């Protein structure tokens, strides 16, 4: 059968070549740079003179990097818990068509994504310095929760839109209280979406550097903060090995989130 | 039938009105914690920026007596006689509290050399033996001759309130800095309008490039059969998930003067010596386009995926050529996706900080860089706030059509 929607061969060749070049442009920078983390020389050139783990060793032997990873994990986990709780709860409210000013509330929840992070960072800085949260872990966790919650709300809302609310009706008609019905019926079914939202929240926090630049003190140096100052001052291969660790962690978590999100509700 | 509505079991005694109110409250309750949280930790911080952008009380706080006296004075008329005494008393008091920084910075912001005028005057006035002069005017003018001129007085008089548009004017180049003699100074400092223009121009260029590169890419992704579709999607998603910081860094490594790109250029004989690629406009645009490409592609891809293949086939069977069918049938249906992707990228580009800061030239930075710099390095919160207000208004205005479109496409759901 003739494929009517196909473009002519010559156009297709041009398009495919162009797309090939675009894909190289998209992937090459990381593919070229990440292998340098196992180079035996500190020069960022090819061919690699040899393979060594010295930069990873340097990373794990440096107390600055270790404490920054610890800080990032503490902030990331706390942000995830807070953002997932607030976001899931809000999504359950917002999925209800009876919700007044639903669109306006949605816009409010999404605004942290629209406002440039530097502006939010300045806002956190001015506000937190007034209420004594500047240079503190709670301050960073609150700021990251603001930036991460939109992702939780969007993800959980998408999952809830596929949830069959008759199940809740069945549970309550059989005598379960609304809270019990939520805990035993709804939550287990939407759990994959909630976990996916939590992963997005974690990565948002784990990757965030701009707000941290504004509101963190030296005690709260996170991994991205440490990376950023390293990149600005003296680029050395340890930074690339730290980047490899960040990338492996985020990509694994994202693949997990993607899989969870696709699960049937 | 709506499932949520019917799932609420209420006593039949309740009147319909009460029921409606209770239902609404019931719907809001789970979202309330987040709404309160965002009001407290997002809306309040943003309002603080708006507040700081019109807050201008450094002079009236530092010189309370002077500003009270000089308030009604207008340029050209003689100064109130007790103004000199007020300034001397205010400055001496300020010095004993050790807090001349805010005043000298604020005067210096408007008056070239004003910082030195304030600091030197305070120093001379507080020096031992200077308190013997009975003539206030002579005492002040001998501390610094600038007080003989109108310029410094008019700066004080203009800022005698606690609120003002000083920083917003500064952020839009509407402020004419004067020198001590009252002439408009040739040294106007930053050119913020040009900076905003540059921010918009770079964002527009990057947006355009991502659309031009993203369109064929999303088209091929949609058309790809079987495994290829998944592979292509993954190739777009993995950079999308990867840390922006790390992706910017990879460009720094590649574009260095002895980096991979320069090596390659020399190898193919394009140039003999290394070319300056890093810290140029080229580096900023190349890196930002690469980073933003997935953001533009994904909305395009998701819209293109919903276009029925039968439409193009129908056009072809009715005699349209392949390109005509594509342009008249496929492209118009893909437009909402293109618009969404382009708007998203444009808004995000306006706020870019990390990438230009790492790969861009010092004189070629975008709005966010200046905001961060005025906060973290120059401690000029008023100016940083004014720039933020302008940037936020621009981003929100551009975001409105995007929000509308998302709402419409998903039937109110996001």
Which tens digits make up the pLDDT trace of B67-77? 998 888 888 88
B411 CB-side CA count, 13 A? 5
B171 — pLDDT class (breaks 50, 70, 90): very high
Residue A50 pLDDT:
87
Mutate to test the interface with A, among B215, B241, B401 (most CBs of A within 10 A): B241
Evaluate if residue A148 carries a pLDDT over 60: yes
* Nearest alpha carbon to residue B383 among B19, B58, B11, B148: B58
Residue B10 pLDDT:
52
Q: Is B273 helix (H, G, I), strand (E, B) or coil?
A: coil
- DSSP-assigned states of every residue in A8-39: PHHHHHHHHHHHHHHHHHHHHHHHHHGGGGGB
Q: Which two tokens stand for residue A19?
A: 């797309």
Give the DSSP letter of residue A185: I
Chain B contact set for A240 (CB, 8 A) = 249, 253
Cα–Cα distance, A206 to A158 (Å, whole number) = 23
Mean of all residue pLDDT scores within chain A: 91
* Nearest alpha carbon to residue A86 among B39, B41, B28, B37: B37
How do residues B281-325 score in pLDDT, each as one tens digit? Answer: 999 999 999 999 999 999 999 999 999 988 988 998 898 888 899
B374, A126 in Cβ contact below 8 A? no
Cα–Cα distance, B178 to B181 (Å, whole number) = 8
Residue B249 pLDDT:
94
- Look at the block and give the residue holding tokens 């949520």: B4
Report yes or no: B212 at the A interface, CB cutoff 8 Å. no
Nearest-Cα residue of chain A relative to residue B8: A169
* Nearest alpha carbon to residue B167 among B308, B50, B294: B50
A205 — pLDDT class (breaks 50, 70, 90): very high
For residue B79, the Cα-to-chain-centroid distance in whole angstroms is 41
Q: What are phi and psi of A51, to 5 degrees?
A: -105, 135
Q: What is the mean pLDDT of residues A156-160?
A: 90
B4 — pLDDT class (breaks 50, 70, 90): very low
Highest mean pLDDT among A127-136, B114-123, B238-247: A127-136
Torsion angle, CA of A37/A42/A48/A51, rounded to 10 degrees? -60
Q: Which residues pair with B163 in a beta bridge?
A: B55
Residue B189 φ/ψ region, left for φ over 0, alpha for ψ in the -120 to 50 degree band, beta for the rest: left
Rounded to 5°, the CA angle A64-A66-A71 comes to 95
Helical ranges in chain A per DSSP H: 9-33, 54-61, 63-94, 102-114, 117-131, 137-160, 166-173, 178-181, 187-207, 210-215, 223-233, 237-262
Mean of all residue pLDDT scores within chain B: 88
Evaluate if residue B3 carries a pLDDT over 60: no
Q: Which of residues 13-52 of B touch A (CB under 8 A)?
A: 23-24, 26-35, 37-38, 41-46, 48-49, 52
Cα–Cα distance, B229 to B36 (Å, whole number) = 43
Handedness of CA A8, A14, A17, A18 (dihedral sign): negative
Q: Which of A33, A106, A143 sits opposite B253 (nearest CB)?
A: A33
Q: Is B319 helix (H, G, I), strand (E, B) or coil?
A: coil
CB contact under 8 A, B31 and A99: yes
* Nearest alpha carbon to residue B252 among A116, A126, A227: A227
| ipTM here | 0.92
Report yes or no: B316 at the A interface, CB cutoff 8 Å. yes
Give the DSSP letter of residue B147: G
Cα–Cα distance, B410 to B339 (Å, whole number) = 16
Nearest-Cα residue of chain B relative to residue A7: B322
* Nearest alpha carbon to residue B251 among A102, A180, A173, A26: A26
Q: What is the mean pLDDT of residues B372-398?
A: 93
Report yes or no: A243 at the B interface, CB cutoff 8 Å. yes
Least confident of A72-86, B75-89, B223-237: B75-89
Residue B413 pLDDT:
42
B325, B312 in Cβ contact below 8 A? yes
CB contact under 8 A, B395 and A121: no
Per cent of chain B over pLDDT 70 is 92
Other CB atoms within 10 Å distance of the CB of residue A59: 22
Residue B125 pLDDT:
85
Q: Which two tokens stand for residue A134?
A: 């500047």
Q: How close does chain B come to A24, measured CA to CA in Å?
A: 10
Cα–Cα distance, B340 to B107 (Å, whole number) = 46
Residue B45 pLDDT:
97
Report yes or no: A68 at the B interface, CB cutoff 8 Å. no
Mutate to test the interface with A, among B23, B26, B36, B41 (most CBs of A within 10 A): B41
Rounded to 5°, the CA angle B214-B219-B221 comes to 95
Q: How close does chain A come to B311, measured CA to CA in Å?
A: 9
Evaluate if residue B412 carries a pLDDT over 70: no
The reported pTM is: 0.90
How do residues B329-348 score in pLDDT, each as one tens digit? Answer: 999 999 989 999 999 999 99
């Amino acid at each position: 059968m003739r494929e009517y929607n196909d473009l002519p061969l010559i156009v297709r060749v041009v398009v495919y070549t162009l797309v090939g070049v675009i894909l190289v442009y998209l992937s090459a920078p990381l593919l070229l740079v990440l292998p340098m983390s196992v180079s035996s020389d500190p020069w960022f050139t090819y061919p690699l003179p040899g393979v060594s783990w010295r930069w990873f060793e340097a990373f794990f032997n440096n107390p600055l990097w270790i404490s920054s990873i610890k800080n990032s994990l503490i902030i990331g986990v706390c942000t995830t818990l807070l953002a997932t709780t607030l976001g899931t709860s809000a999504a359950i409210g917002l999925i209800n068509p009876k919700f007044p000013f639903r669109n306006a509330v949605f816009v409010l929840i999404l605004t942290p994504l629209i406002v440039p992070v530097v502006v939010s960072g300045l806002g956190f800085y001015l506000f937190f310095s007034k209420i004594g949260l500047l240079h503190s872990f709670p301050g960073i966790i609150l700021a990251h929760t603001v930036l991460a919650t939109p992702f939780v709300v969007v993800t959980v809302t998408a999952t809830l839109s596929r949830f069959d609310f008759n199940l809740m009706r069945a549970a309550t008609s059989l005598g379960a209280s609304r809270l019990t019905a939520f805990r035993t019926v709804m939550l287990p079914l939407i759990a994959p979406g909630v976990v996916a939202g939590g992963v997005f929240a974690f990565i948002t926090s784990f990757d965030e550097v701009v707000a941290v630049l504004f509101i963190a003190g030296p005690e709260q140096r996170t991994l991205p903060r440490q990376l950023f100052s390293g990149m600005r001052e003296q680029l050395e291969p340890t930074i690339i090995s730290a980047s490899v660790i960040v990338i492996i962690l985020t990509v694994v978590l994202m693949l997990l989130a993607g899989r969870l999100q696709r699960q049937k509700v | 039938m709506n499932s949520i509505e019917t799932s609420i079991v209420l006593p039949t005694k309740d009147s319909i009105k009460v029921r409606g109110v209770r239902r609404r409250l019931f719907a809001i309750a789970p979202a309330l914690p987040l709404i309160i949280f965002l009001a407290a930790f997002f809306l309040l911080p943003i309002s603080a920026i708006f507040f700081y952008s019109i807050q201008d009380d450094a002079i009236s706080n530092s010189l309370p007596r002077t500003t009270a006296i000089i308030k009604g004075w207008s340029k050209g008329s003689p100064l109130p006689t007790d103004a000199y005494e007020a300034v001397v008393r205010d400055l001496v008091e300020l010095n004993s509290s050790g807090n001349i920084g805010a005043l000298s910075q604020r005067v210096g912001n408007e008056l070239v050399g004003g910082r030195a005028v304030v600091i030197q005057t305070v120093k001379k006035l507080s020096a031992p033996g200077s308190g013997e002069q009975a003539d206030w005017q002579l005492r002040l003018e001998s501390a610094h001759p600038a007080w003989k001129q109108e310029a410094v007085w008019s700066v004080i008089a203009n800022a005698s309130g606690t609120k003002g548009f000083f920083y917003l004017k500064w952020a839009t180049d509407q402020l004419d800095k004067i020198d001590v003699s009252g002439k408009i100074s040739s040294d106007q400092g930053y050119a913020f309008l040009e900076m905003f223009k540059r921010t918009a121009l770079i964002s527009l260029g990057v947006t355009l490039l991502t659309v031009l590169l993203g369109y064929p890419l999303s088209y091929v992704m949609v058309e790809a059969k079987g495994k290829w579709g998944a592979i292509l999607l993954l190739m777009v998603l993995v950079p999308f998930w990867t840390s922006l910081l790390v992706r910017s860094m990879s460009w720094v490594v590649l574009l260095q003067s002895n980096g991979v790109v320069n090596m390659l250029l020399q190898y193919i004989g394009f140039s003999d010596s290394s070319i300056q690629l890093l810290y140029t406009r080229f580096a900023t645009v190349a890196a930002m386009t690469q980073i933003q490409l997935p953001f533009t592609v994904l909305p395009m891809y998701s819209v293109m995926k919903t276009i029925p293949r039968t439409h193009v086939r129908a056009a072809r069977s009715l005699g349209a050529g392949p390109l005509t069918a594509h342009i008249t049938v496929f492209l118009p249906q893909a437009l909402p996706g293109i618009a969404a992707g382009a708007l998203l990228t444009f808004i995000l580009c306006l706020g870019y900080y990390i990438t230009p800061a790492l790969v861009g030239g010092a004189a070629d930075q975008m709005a966010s860089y200046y905001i961060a710099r005025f906060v973290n390095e120059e401690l000029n919160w008023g100016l940083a706030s004014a720039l933020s207000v302008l940037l936020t208004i621009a981003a929100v205005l551009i975001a409105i059509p995007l929000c509308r479109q998302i709402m419409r496409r998903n039937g109110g759901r996001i």
